[in-house]
Amino acid sequence: MAIVNLRKHYYPLYTKDTFAEVPDEVAAVMEECRLYESRQEGRKSYYHVYSMDCSPGIENHAMSLVQSPEDLIIREIDEAAEELLLEHLAEAISQLSPTQAWRPHARYALKKKFREIAADEGISGSCACDSVTGALKKLQKIFAKNGWLERED
Domains of the chain: 2-64 (no CATH), 69-146 (1.10.10.10)
List pLDDT tens digits, range 67-84: 778 888 999 999 999 999
Q: Which of 130, 139, 126, 129 is nearest to 97 (CA)?
A: 139
Cβ neighbours, 10 Å, residue 128: 23
DSSP 112-127: --HHHHHHHHT--HHH
How would you class 131 by CB atoms within 10 Å of its CB: exposed for 0-12, middle for 13-18, buried for 19 or more?
Answer: buried
**Could you tell me the pTM of the whole model?**
0.52
> How does pLDDT run along the chain (153 residues), one tens digit per residue?
889 888 887 777 888 888 889 999 988 998 898 888 888 777 665 555 555 555 555 555 555 666 778 888 999 999 999 999 999 999 999 999 998 899 999 999 999 999 999 999 999 999 999 999 999 999 999 999 998 877 654
Q: What are phi and psi of 56, to 5 degrees?
A: -70, 135
- 8 A C-beta contact, residue 118 and residue 125: yes
Alpha-carbon distance of 104 to 13, in angstroms, equals 72
Quick one: pLDDT at residue 92? Answer: 93
Quick one: pLDDT at residue 59? Answer: 58
